[in-house]
Amino acid sequence: MRISLIFLIFLLSSFATFAGEADVIAAKVEHSGGSFYRFTVTVQHDDEDWEHFAKAWEILDSDGNILGARVLLHPHINEQPFTRSQSISLPENINQVTIRAYDLIHKFGGKELTLKIEKGNQDEAN
Protein backbone atom coordinates (compact mmCIF):
# COMPACT_ATOMS: atom_id res chain seq x y z
CA MET A 1 0.00 0.00 0.00
CA ARG A 2 2.79 2.43 0.88
CA ILE A 3 4.56 1.83 -2.46
CA SER A 4 1.30 2.53 -4.30
CA LEU A 5 0.85 5.76 -2.38
CA ILE A 6 4.43 6.86 -3.11
CA PHE A 7 3.94 6.06 -6.80
CA LEU A 8 0.67 8.02 -6.88
CA ILE A 9 2.32 11.06 -5.25
CA PHE A 10 5.20 10.87 -7.76
CA LEU A 11 2.77 10.55 -10.65
CA LEU A 12 0.70 13.54 -9.55
CA SER A 13 3.74 15.72 -8.86
CA SER A 14 5.14 14.95 -12.32
CA PHE A 15 1.88 15.58 -14.13
CA ALA A 16 2.73 19.23 -14.88
CA THR A 17 5.63 18.17 -17.10
CA PHE A 18 3.54 15.87 -19.32
CA ALA A 19 2.60 18.70 -21.67
CA GLY A 20 6.06 18.53 -23.21
CA GLU A 21 7.99 21.27 -24.93
CA ALA A 22 6.57 23.95 -27.19
CA ASP A 23 7.02 23.12 -30.88
CA VAL A 24 7.09 25.50 -33.83
CA ILE A 25 5.12 23.50 -36.40
CA ALA A 26 4.75 26.08 -39.20
CA ALA A 27 6.00 29.55 -40.08
CA LYS A 28 5.76 32.11 -42.83
CA VAL A 29 7.67 35.32 -43.42
CA GLU A 30 6.61 38.20 -45.65
CA HIS A 31 8.60 41.32 -46.46
CA SER A 32 6.68 44.34 -45.15
CA GLY A 33 8.93 47.04 -46.55
CA GLY A 34 12.30 48.45 -45.61
CA SER A 35 13.95 46.25 -43.00
CA PHE A 36 10.63 44.89 -41.65
CA TYR A 37 9.37 41.34 -42.08
CA ARG A 38 6.09 39.91 -40.78
CA PHE A 39 6.53 36.48 -39.20
CA THR A 40 3.44 34.29 -38.82
CA VAL A 41 4.27 31.38 -36.52
CA THR A 42 2.20 28.35 -35.49
CA VAL A 43 3.03 26.78 -32.12
CA GLN A 44 1.83 23.47 -30.67
CA HIS A 45 1.94 23.00 -26.90
CA ASP A 46 -0.47 21.31 -24.53
CA ASP A 47 -1.01 24.43 -22.42
CA GLU A 48 -2.37 23.37 -19.04
CA ASP A 49 -2.81 26.53 -16.97
CA TRP A 50 -1.12 29.83 -16.08
CA GLU A 51 1.90 27.97 -14.66
CA HIS A 52 2.52 25.83 -17.79
CA PHE A 53 1.91 27.38 -21.18
CA ALA A 54 3.80 28.47 -24.30
CA LYS A 55 4.97 31.95 -23.32
CA ALA A 56 6.85 33.17 -26.43
CA TRP A 57 8.50 32.49 -29.74
CA GLU A 58 11.79 34.00 -30.92
CA ILE A 59 13.55 34.73 -34.19
CA LEU A 60 17.30 33.94 -34.09
CA ASP A 61 20.15 34.58 -36.51
CA SER A 62 22.62 31.82 -37.44
CA ASP A 63 24.81 32.72 -34.42
CA GLY A 64 21.90 32.34 -31.98
CA ASN A 65 21.37 36.07 -31.44
CA ILE A 66 17.74 37.05 -30.78
CA LEU A 67 16.47 39.32 -33.56
CA GLY A 68 12.93 39.61 -32.26
CA ALA A 69 10.22 37.84 -30.29
CA ARG A 70 6.49 37.54 -29.76
CA VAL A 71 5.50 37.30 -26.09
CA LEU A 72 2.27 35.37 -25.51
CA LEU A 73 0.19 36.82 -22.70
CA HIS A 74 -2.05 33.89 -21.74
CA PRO A 75 -2.50 30.11 -22.11
CA HIS A 76 -4.08 28.76 -25.31
CA ILE A 77 -5.71 25.74 -23.67
CA ASN A 78 -8.64 25.49 -26.09
CA GLU A 79 -6.77 26.74 -29.17
CA GLN A 80 -4.15 24.22 -30.28
CA PRO A 81 -2.17 24.66 -32.34
CA PHE A 82 -2.32 28.45 -32.41
CA THR A 83 -0.87 31.05 -34.78
CA ARG A 84 0.36 34.54 -33.97
CA SER A 85 2.22 37.18 -36.01
CA GLN A 86 4.84 39.81 -35.27
CA SER A 87 6.69 42.35 -37.43
CA ILE A 88 10.43 42.34 -36.84
CA SER A 89 13.19 44.49 -38.27
CA LEU A 90 16.04 42.36 -39.65
CA PRO A 91 19.60 43.49 -40.34
CA GLU A 92 20.47 43.73 -44.04
CA ASN A 93 22.92 40.79 -43.92
CA ILE A 94 20.39 38.24 -42.59
CA ASN A 95 19.45 35.58 -45.14
CA GLN A 96 18.21 32.84 -42.78
CA VAL A 97 16.56 32.70 -39.35
CA THR A 98 15.58 30.01 -36.87
CA ILE A 99 12.31 30.19 -34.97
CA ARG A 100 11.94 28.57 -31.55
CA ALA A 101 9.18 28.53 -28.94
CA TYR A 102 9.40 28.76 -25.15
CA ASP A 103 7.17 27.33 -22.44
CA LEU A 104 7.25 28.16 -18.73
CA ILE A 105 8.26 24.67 -17.53
CA HIS A 106 10.65 23.33 -20.19
CA LYS A 107 11.97 26.66 -21.48
CA PHE A 108 13.39 26.03 -25.02
CA GLY A 109 13.98 22.64 -26.58
CA GLY A 110 10.99 21.81 -28.73
CA LYS A 111 10.89 21.63 -32.53
CA GLU A 112 12.45 24.62 -34.28
CA LEU A 113 12.07 25.77 -37.89
CA THR A 114 14.53 27.54 -40.16
CA LEU A 115 13.41 29.99 -42.84
CA LYS A 116 15.39 31.57 -45.66
CA ILE A 117 14.97 35.32 -45.88
CA GLU A 118 14.76 36.52 -49.44
CA LYS A 119 14.83 40.29 -49.55
CA GLY A 120 11.53 41.60 -50.88
CA ASN A 121 9.96 38.09 -51.11
CA GLN A 122 8.28 35.63 -48.78
CA ASP A 123 9.13 32.14 -47.58
CA GLU A 124 7.21 29.46 -45.73
CA ALA A 125 8.14 26.32 -43.75
CA ASN A 126 6.12 23.46 -42.31
What does the pLDDT profile of the chain (126 residues) look like in tens digits?
455 544 434 444 444 445 688 899 999 999 999 999 999 999 987 766 667 778 889 999 999 999 999 998 777 667 779 899 999 999 999 999 999 998 888 878 889 999 999 875 555 565
> The whole model's pTM is what?
0.77
Phi, psi values for residue 79, rounded to 5°: -135, 85
DSSP alpha helices (H): ranges in the chain? 2-14
- What CATH architecture applies to the domain 17-125? Sandwich (2.60)
Residue 94 CB partners (closer than 8 Å, separation 6+): 61, 67, 117
C-alpha span between 117 and 10 (Å, rounded): 46
